[in-house]
């Protein structure tokens, strides 16, 4: 008997994905990435001179990510301003994206990436990383490739992809395990976190599912970048 998810999806089926490029005219690069009801926007400013001077790195440019959620992106209002969670996710996002960027081309410079979640239904950091990767390419940053991100996990005993908020709160059986993963387009993992309860065998299964899913996310990101030209 196949596992039934609350919204009827199959275990390896992710929500409807949408990506748009160039949504913020002032930014050097910008994009929107939507997974189901989770919507993230990202804007890139840079490369530009890093201030204060003592933070400059003479060997390569610095990537600076700033992730935050709008107060009304969730059910219970979030007070505006950074939180520990948003600061952690900002750092995770930097680590997820950096391996794909050729920062040695811009010593002493900084590339600012601002990510905001407009509407949240789990997978926000993944949507943010997906939007940011597209925005960086749109901004003309030299990159080895894109980074794609998705959350995989386990609901009771079944491995699933792209958990919603209600799935993250799953309580039946073994409960929910949530594993956001980001990968480069040549299959390297640049970000991985886990919350829950899972065996090594099932974790490997989940990672394989993530690998397959990231490839599909990549196609959507690629299409969005190619379409910037058609629209013009």
Under the rule (CB under 8 A), what is the footprint of another protein? 24-30, 37, 39, 41-43, 45-49, 66, 70-77, 80-81, 100, 102, 106, 108-109, 112, 114, 116, 118-120, 137-146, 184-186, 222, 225-226, 228-229, 232
Strand 109-119, strand 62-69: pairing = parallel
Strand 38-49, strand 62-69: pairing = unpaired
Residue 157 beta carbon to another protein: minimum distance, rounded to whole angstroms: 29
Q: Of the two residues 30 and 177, which places its CB atom closer to another protein in the complex?
A: 30
Query: Which backbone phi and psi does 41 adopt, to 5 degrees?
Result: -120, 145
Residue 100 beta carbon to another protein: minimum distance, rounded to whole angstroms: 8
Helix (H, G, I), strand (E, B) or coil at 32: strand
Q: Of the two residues 110 and 155, which places its CB atom closer to another protein in the complex?
A: 110
Q: Of the two residues 31 and 150, which places its CB atom closer to another protein in the complex?
A: 31
Q: Residue 94: which residues within 8 A CB-CB, separation 6 or more?
A: 63, 64, 65
C-alpha to C-alpha distance for 62 and 157, rounded to whole angstroms: 42
Q: Of the two residues 70 and 194, which places its CB atom closer to another protein in the complex?
A: 70
Residue 205 beta carbon to another protein: minimum distance, rounded to whole angstroms: 27
Task: Check if the beta carbon of residue 177 is closer than 8 Å to that of residue 198.
Answer: yes
């Amino acid at each position: 008997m196949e596992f039934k998810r609350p919204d009827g999806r199959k275990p390896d089926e992710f929500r409807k994905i949408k990506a748009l490029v160039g949504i913020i005219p002032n930014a050097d690069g910008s994009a929107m990435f939507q997974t189901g009801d989770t919507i993230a926007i990202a804007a890139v400013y840079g490369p530009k001179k890093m201030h204060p001077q003592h933070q400059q790195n003479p060997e390569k440019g610095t990537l600076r990510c700033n992730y935050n959620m709008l107060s009304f992106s969730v059910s219970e209002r979030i007070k505006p301003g950074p939180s520990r969670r948003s600061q952690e996710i900002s750092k995770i996002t930097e680590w997820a994206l950096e391996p794909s960027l050729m920062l040695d081309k811009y010593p002493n410079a900084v590339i600012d990436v601002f990510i905001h979640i407009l509407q949240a239904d789990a997978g926000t950091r993944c949507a943010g990383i997906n939007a940011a990767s597209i925005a960086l390419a749109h901004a003309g940053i030299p990159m080895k490739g894109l980074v794609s991100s998705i959350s995989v996990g386990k609901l009771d005993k079944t491995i699933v992809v792209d958990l919603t908020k209600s799935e993250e709160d799953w309580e039946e059986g073994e409960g929910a395990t949530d594993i956001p993963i980001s990968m480069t387009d040549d299959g390297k993992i640049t970000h991985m976190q886990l919350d829950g309860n899972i065996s090594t065998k099932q974790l490997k299964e989940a990672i394989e599912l993530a690998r397959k899913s990231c490839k599909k996310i990549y196609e959507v990101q690629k299409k969005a970048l190619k379409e910037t030209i058609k629209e013009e």
